[in-house]
Amino acid sequence: MASNGHGNTHPPVASLTDPKAVFYNRLLTRTFVNACLCEDCARDHYLNYPYSCYLNHPPKEIPILPGQRPTIIFNSRMRRYEALQLVRSSIQYFSRPRKELDIGQIRSATEIQEWLYHRDLIARLGSHDTRGTLTVDDMRALIKHLLCVFFFGAIIPFDFAWHSHYLETNVNWIGVTVTENRNGEDVQCIAMHPTKVVMSGSPSRDFTRALAMQRLSTLMHELIHAVILALCCRACRAAGDNLAHHGRAWQRLALGVEAEFASLFGLSLDLGRMDGIFHDMKNAGARFHYPSRHDLEVYGFVEPRRVETGMPGGG
């Protein structure tokens, strides 16, 4: 670690061609001075109109009770769930002790384990062309099980495809989620490329498994986008930060999903949380979104700042 001359240490900045070096350079030079609008930093008025929105969200909207599944209401004209409330409730829901899971979660978790260990999901996801090993109906069924385990079994309109023109025009993308209006209803359309390989570093000795894990991670990455797009209120003042493409709501959910997926299924997903921040920082479509310093601490990308206090009895 490199010292700044005042006793503090920062990650080394090796080269401005390295994405992580760019990130840390911007961290040091810009210091992410954006005011943080999260529920902790704006605690006194976060859910009070007009700071929140005209819906006047209650402090706790989704009760999580042992063995029970809350009913999630989908309404594409008025998304009723404040983003960080939904995120906190989701994480509380899927990280409960196993004895407190509801029957739908248990059944879907068991089904996913069946796919993983008896139906060769990893080998099928790691194939050269996934259209020959996993049908669109297979992927839709898998998505429904993931919704049951992680997102209340929310009945949100979604679709899946093994191709999208967005994936052809963006060479580094292997997945995308787009909201389409079909017959007056918003549908979250998840698409993945069936043959594209985008992997950094030297090839793995088990290339099939590495490719499968990238695709499984991509599916979860896009499913989090789909849930947030379908359910989260867009009228709140803090929605600009919370609902940025890889902003506060997505980052927190992704962090929770990574931890719990490993616990439930013994697999370590990489949902591209750091890459998501790079993407938003340089993307005009995302309005060059920068997180706050506090956000980066919550995401685990920088160490929390130490609050210095005087020595007892000191002047």
- Average pLDDT of the chain to the nearest whole number: 85
Give yes or no for residue 170 having a pLDDT over 60: yes
Residue whose structure tokens are 């068991």? 110
Q: What is the pLDDT of residue 307?
A: 52
Give yes or no for residue 92 having a pLDDT over 60: yes
Q: What is the pLDDT of residue 298?
A: 92
Give yes or no for residue 100 having a pLDDT over 60: yes
Structure tokens that stand for 199 in this block = 């992997």
Alpha helices by DSSP H, the chain: 19-30, 83-94, 103-118, 121-125, 136-150, 165-169, 207-231, 239-242, 248-265, 273-282, 293-299
Give yes or no for residue 203 having a pLDDT over 70: no
Q: What is the pLDDT of residue 154?
A: 93
Q: What is the pLDDT of residue 30?
A: 61
Structure tokens that stand for 202 in this block = 């030297």
Q: What percent of the chain has pLDDT over 70?
A: 83
Do 36 and 295 contact (CB within 8 A), yes or no?
Answer: yes
Structure tokens that stand for 162 in this block = 């093994």
Q: In terms of pLDDT, which residue wins out, 63 or 288?
A: 63
Q: What is the pLDDT of residue 102?
A: 97
Instruction: Give all strands of the β-sheet with 158-161 in edge-to-edge order.
Output: 158-161, 185-192, 175-182
Rg of the chain in Å (alpha carbons): 21
- Taking residues 89-112, report their average pLDDT: 97
Structure tokens that stand for 1 in this block = 């670690």
Q: In terms of pLDDT, which residue wins out, 10 or 121?
A: 121
Q: What percent of the chain has pLDDT over 90?
A: 55
Respond yes or no on whether the N-terminal peptide bond of residue 50 is cis (omega within 30° of 0): yes
Structure tokens that stand for 272 in this block = 């591209």
Tell me the pLDDT tens digit for each residue of 49-72.
777 788 888 878 899 999 999 999
pLDDT band of 25, cuts 50, 70, 90: low
Do 232 and 249 contact (CB within 8 A), yes or no?
Answer: yes
Q: What is the pLDDT of residue 80?
A: 87
Structure tokens that stand for 149 in this block = 């385990």
Tell me the CA end-to-end span of the chain in Å, nearest whole number.
32
Q: What is the pLDDT of residue 9?
A: 36
Q: How is residue 232 annotated by DSSP?
A: B
